[in-house]
Structure 1
């Protein structure tokens, strides 16, 4: 088995990759990796199912035609060189990704900042972690996460704010669940506008209003001072306390949307518990005041000295597998490699000297939102986008699409040409994917781990560091970009970190500056720093910081409402985020049929009272619109959201849905300090989409391309499954279905009732089911899993019943994706009276016994189905 690291979230789980007796790739958790100790989430468990070469980009393309590498690289180098010569270095840009390995990131940063001479390189981590970076730098003088994962297990109180840990970082959540089970006296507080799966272990849930987090932590700081809980000895290492306290005392706690009684209970818990860890993620960062929210949290820990000690401290949880590595290597437009400061002349000169670089920018480059605005207005004339899909993931995504469509020269490096962004590229470069490349990543606790190759590069795919280096060579810098392996890149990076270490920077891994190829191949996970006199561990318990005077800064924070204003035209507040089993824009997870089964359709989560007020019904379709764009989403009624606030997932693209790119709705409002977009608080209107018909459809291996006003499409175990709706019905459903499935000559079985507006159509070949569609005037109620599993089977016409016979019970919608356990199976087990606890369900069906992220849902189902009905 080969040891590697999972390519999903910032937990950075270790995995073992090998082959089973049939030669098929298998992936399981590495019991020796200190991030996960063998645990994996549903996405990690399904990694082996995502390694197929379907949709892979296997050769360079120029303007849609296949080309050789020499031609493609020469064109990229020539166009960038010509653009720089004519318009200057700031007329070009790189937009990179937390999917890159650290070695890839390092080469990109060196090429842009050291040799092109521009700071116009930014990363999609700007969309998730930039406010944390800015808050850390304001308070600590550098971007340092002080603690370690074990602090969550050692704490007596864990506060989770802006973090649905159960779904977004499931393995870390399971570590917390296990710690709480071992020590029932441990307390957990969840601060979130929604009642999420994470609330399953919460002793207190504060349903904060959108943007209200800073008001909560300001109220806490004021109460810390009032109760005399300030650590005066630690304050000798801190400046700004009086101003921060004055701002906190002047704040209005009512902005939090939380009652005085709930706030008092929270303060009692926090102040009365010495060992406190405050975990925060996108709900804090993705805000127009995200940096202030971060500093409001840090203020409370600095005021009490609860930082850098076992079981104490603020803890930023990153969203991507190498978001931290990108921060370390200077992937953001306002940073230099190894945590050195771009605008510090000493740091800048040190890096330039180390790189022997011809030119270095003296000021920060354009952050992501401003970068694409500059593309749109012609200031940036050539852009290279690497492993990210900004036409889906950037706010005001339609404007980003228009900007790229009008750009002189767009290069995209990716593993697939099937993305909304790749469709706009002049040059497409095929890159290697997870399992095919070697390098390192850094997780949220500063732990550097290896990703290792177990598969050959398919077709003409190349490693990102190599692609970037070859362009650098072709632009004239052959000696400076002549590495032959990622180990050599890592060694150079480690050596540069030693330069930073000698200048007093926190990041230092210079112990590895002379690492050999065999030692790199065998590199074990380690926590930085690893340099002279500094070996891993926590930061700041000693009160030593990286500011000019060595003291931490408390920041005066005035809570601010979201920029996007609620109005009569846009009366709702839109929150966006992830679902449990999907990842970013689904280019990897959507390849796994079982990951598509839990929540396989984009949806709008809305309070029932709000839905009734605007005329929405359960399973109907909502039109969600802002001043920037609109989306069509399936209605999901839930009292887990606050009235007036709605939630939608961010995963669906133009490849997987007709109108579900939710970031086309999100306004391009940013934090003035960090440049991070406010992705969780856009003012929107919500109205019903008046569908005349709804449909569910399945197909075999041939991909269908629906054209209805509303459609969503995901892979299934037997091919494809789709949900469709339209505002105009076709004249002939059979011909419409033939066109949808590209089956002009297949045999057909039908049950059509024109008067009722229903149609059930199955296409078959000698009785073998090829495709089927079920149409009705209302949302379709069918045994979907049963129908999906019939594709490719015999006796096709029986599928038109829409449900299995008594001899083949329908498992129902998938709840446990790891072990394929369905809702109906769970309901039957509960109704039997023998599975009335989550543990008992696990023993009976296996549900919840793998990654555990479905356990909150299992608990809710037990509560729902074990309650006796009232007598009629």
Structure 2
């Protein structure tokens, strides 16, 4: 459509293109097929029997819909469930709208003057290392560039780190060790040209569904084999040709054994090694020590010897092999070694930079790559230059005109917050991230924030971090700011504004530049647009480069404002004077090392830093869910994204559940050396015995369980500084459930003394409650505390002690403010009403005649029944799915897709659909 703005999704590092209207409503493209594929959630019943012309006629007026950009090479129009629901996250109701100082409203001048003054005073009294920035892979490249220039160039400290330290730092370190620079050699098209795809520590089907869809298409088209190396039987492992349920920390041993096998099988490309790499003999010798035979590898990895042998044989016999790795590799105390163990195997075989062949790191955040380009990590200089190279220091100093340039790396994330807690860092500015929830040892991080004399936070929404800030700055968000992001295959794309920022929200680059000017650095921070920032960033990448660094986008340094606005997605390197965009790298060598050769790294396996023992016999793994993003500040606003998993849980194997007496749906207290959390139990055959899994997303705002980071320790990789988030020793103890409850409220209340979890519903919120103590005799007072409302004349109650059921509703000015349903016993949930339909009544007038029906749990006529979502893209729930399977005699996932649409968009729900299909027919039989 001519009025569509082309922008880029703000979620993962796939970097999908999105279309949006300038007025802020999101649009679907004109193709008839897209009308059906992108129909709004909640109207699917209309779709199945309607023609395309019917769909145009019955589309709800004013309903925002969204589509991927068919012209964007990363996604060719496809979006995952999160991207498809972006329109539902644009409500400004919970946004930060105005600067705040000590909880009171302030003008921008007052807030920025204060930030600049406190930073100046801290530096004058304690030196530049007493201040720090903690930024985010959700910053745009222009934001990142200004932050890095301010801290490293002009304040004179490298104490700027990013939450990418938690997800990609080990990949960065592994790339630098192997290639001499942080470079991903391959491109997305390799996933479609490979004959073997090995996924290591990557639940691609849930975390990068669009890429997983490209692999699925390749399997259909060319029979691509897929091997998944992951402790859990994830959605990605479902349907793989081989799933290796590896023991945590076993990756180095597995790939050391593969290197030995490649040599024994004659698959090593010695000619390529002689010409383009160094260190093979030392790497092979170390691998033989770590993995002398299959029995040793099986003992370390917990895998069957025959499965290991099958994987090795497939890898050795398949020249077109891509190895994709992500957080299961990186988030480890041996993460960098894991990365290099994988890269060693590709270097040894010369399988790098070729069609369908290479090691491939996929990033978790939308601009983790862009942040690495500008030096967003504390141990990096800008434009892939290095602190340990004096000529690089001199080059950046001269380009920036920055005589006070930092000359050594700064504090990495875990060390930064430790320094904050012990007083070495006295002023901190946090941008676009929520470390009070996302960092390991979250309790100590919160103590550190409380201890710091001056904390500034820039964000779009209130978080557990903004609650602890002295100054809160309202940031422009996705759809409101302009800039660029770089995805996992080095493609730079524009994020364009299509709506005005709410209130007084402003872009992060602007805030940073304004503070820099107030600190006396006006000349170096005189940009008037993100395009000007980008031009400087591009110019630095090409400054005195001459091919020494692969990262070079000098060809973009002279873009006019109009050309920047119109910039098409383009992949680096893009040196000045070059032709065309960058492609695959290193097939013919040309590594950015002194001798132009790659390095194979000798490695020896070591176990995780912390191991189970008698006190903490289980190992905790944390990770992502399909429909959620980080700490849910955005996705938590979407009812349909909360409908698949509405509460945090702890997944454990059936045998472990039986051993400790945990019941499915019950409560379990997890305790580590760092803290404890109470969580719902999900018994799952996907779990390895001896291990538990907890999703990373929930916070104090969404659950009494709070962030799982409160359990995770501070062990880090010695090279990358990335924390171990996949292997924390814990113990698990069941906690009896005395009663269940449902609380519907117009406000996002946080009840005390009960276990709860919250989802958006209707005009308010629905909270599931679990009581660990018996219901008190004075139930009225107890209900008033849970409702956080006084007992007034407009308060109605219904008690049925014989059934163990009590119900309350509170009106204000004749409108429904909240209602509460309680049911005694651990099975009480079965006696609670469906919350979603009742929540639609919140804020509305309830006639006297309808009050009895309300307390009985009956909604207004036409109110729907909530069901757990299976396909978030098409709004298909489990009840609808099972009924259709039986009523229409659907036998395959293709038939389900044709009937309901489920599974036909991003495909991340297909493994669960297959399971429901099998179970439904088995139950019927």
Question: Smaller-chain TM-score range?
Answer: over 0.9
Q: Deviations over 1:583-641 (max 9, x none)?
A: 00000001111111110100000011101111211101111111011111110000110
2:901 to 843, 846, 849: 846
Say if 2:220 is the partner of 1:181.
yes
1:52-91 → structure 2 map (5 Å cutoff): 52-91=91-130
Counterpart in 1 of 2:752?
707
Find the aligned partners of 1:734 and 1:444 in 2 and give their Cα distance.
56
Partners in 1 of 2:437 and 2:15 — Cα distance? 25
Secondary structure class of the residue paired with 2:237: helix
2:152 matched to 1:129? no
Does 2:163 correspond to 1:163?
no
Q: CA separation in 2, counterparts of 1:536 and 1:46?
A: 32
Corresponding residue of 1:864: 919
Cα deviation for residue 698 of structure 1 reads: 2.3
Q: Is the CA contact (8 Å cut-off) linking 1:698 and 1:788 kept in structure 2?
A: no
Match of 1:775 in 2: 823
CA distance in structure 2 between the aligned counterparts of 1:86 and 1:742, rounded to whole angstroms: 46
Tell me the residue number matched to 2:449.
404
CA distance in 2, matches of 1:108, 1:24: 38
- Which residue number corresponds to residue 758 of structure 1? 805
Shift in Å, 1:791: 2.7
RMSD over aligned CA atoms reads 2.0
C-alpha contact (below 8 Å) 1:119/1:361 kept by paired residues: yes
Distance verdict in 2 for CA 1:4–1:784, change over 3 Å: farther
Alpha carbons 1:811, 1:825 under 8 Å: kept: no
- Give the match for residue 715 of structure 2: 669
Deviates more, 1:780-789 or 1:555-564: 780-789
2:643–2:867 Cα contact (<8 Å) kept: no
Contact 2:79 2:905 in 1 (8 A): yes
Distance (Å, rounded) in 2 between the aligned partners of 1:261 and 1:757: 55
Please give the residue correspondences for 1:299-448 in structure 2 after superposition, counting only pairs within 5 Å: 299-416=344-461, 418-448=462-492
* Structure-2 residue corresponding to 1:192: 230
Corresponding residue for 1:6? 9
Contact 2:674–2:710 (Cα < 8 Å) also in 1: yes
Matches within 5 A, 1:611-760: 611-699=657-745, 701-728=746-773, 729-743=775-789, 744-745=791-792, 747=794, 750-754=797-801, 757-760=804-807
Q: Please report how far the alpha carbon of residue 868 of structure 1 lies from its aligned counterpart in structure 2 after TM superposition.
A: 4.9
Look up the match of 2:605.
559
Aligned residue number for residue 213 of structure 1: 251
Please say if residues 784 and 812 of structure 1, whose CA atoms lie closer than 8 Å, have aligned partners that are also in contact: no
Q: 2:220, 2:809 → 1: CA distance?
A: 51
Partner of 1:223 in structure 2? 261
Q: Secondary structure at the match of 2:236?
A: helix
Secondary structure of the residue aligned to 2:681 is strand
What's the secondary structure of 1:195's corresponding residue? coil
C-alpha spacing 1:320/1:425, structure 2 compared with 1 (3 Å): same
In 2 relative to 1, CA 685–676 (structure 1 residues): closer, same or farther, beyond 3 Å? same
Pair 1:101 & 2:140 matched = yes
1:791 matched residue in structure 2: 839
The alpha-carbon deviation at position 655 of structure 1 amounts to 1.2
Could you say if the C-alpha distance between residues 827 and 22 of structure 1 is closer, same or farther in structure 2, counting changes exceeding 3 Å?
Answer: closer
Shift of 1:809: 8.0
1:639-690 deviations in Å (ceiling 9; x for gaps): 1100000100011111111123101100011000000000000000111123
What is the TM-score normalised by the length of structure 1?
A: 0.96
Residue 832 (structure 1) aligned with residue 871 (structure 2): no
Structure 1 residue aligned with 2:82: 43
Separation in 1, partners of 2:606, 2:859: 55
Question: Which consecutive unaligned segments of at least 5 residues does structure 1 have?
Answer: none
Give 1:40 deviation, angstroms.
Answer: 0.5
Moved more, 767-776 or 562-571: 767-776
Instruction: Give the Cα separation in 1 of the matches to 2:911 and 2:64.
Output: 31
Equivalent position SS for 1:657: coil
Structure 1 residue 572: Cα displacement: 0.3
Decide whether the 8 Å contact of 1:596 with 1:714 is kept in 2: yes
Quickly say closer, same or farther: Cα 1:807–1:726, change in 2 above 3 A. closer
| Residue 812, structure 1, aligned to residue 900, structure 2 | no
Partner-residue secondary structure (3-state), 2:641: helix
The answer to whether the 8 Å contact 1:718/1:789 transfers is no
Q: Report if aligned partners of 2:822, 2:832 keep a CA contact under 8 Å in 1.
A: no
Match of 1:688, SS state, is strand
Could you list the per-position Cα deviations for residues 729-779 of structure 1 after superposition, in whole angstroms to 9, with x for gaps in the alignment?
333334333343345337555443446643233456879685232332215
Structure 1 residues 582 and 500: CA distance shift in structure 2, 3 A: farther
Q: CA deviation at 1:858?
A: 0.5
Offset, 1:494: 0.5
Question: 1:139 aligns to what?
Answer: 178
Q: CA deviation at 1:792?
A: 4.0
C-alpha distance in 2 between matches for 1:614 and 1:783 = 27
Cα deviation, 1:109-141, whole Å, max 9, x if unaligned, reads 000000001010000000000000000000000
**Residue 4 and residue 704 in structure 1: after superposition, are their counterparts in 2 closer, same or farther (change >3 A)?**
same
| Counterpart-to-counterpart distance in 1, 2:793 and 2:95 | 30
Deviation per residue, 1:24-65 (Å, 9 max, x gap): 654211011000001001110110110111221111111111
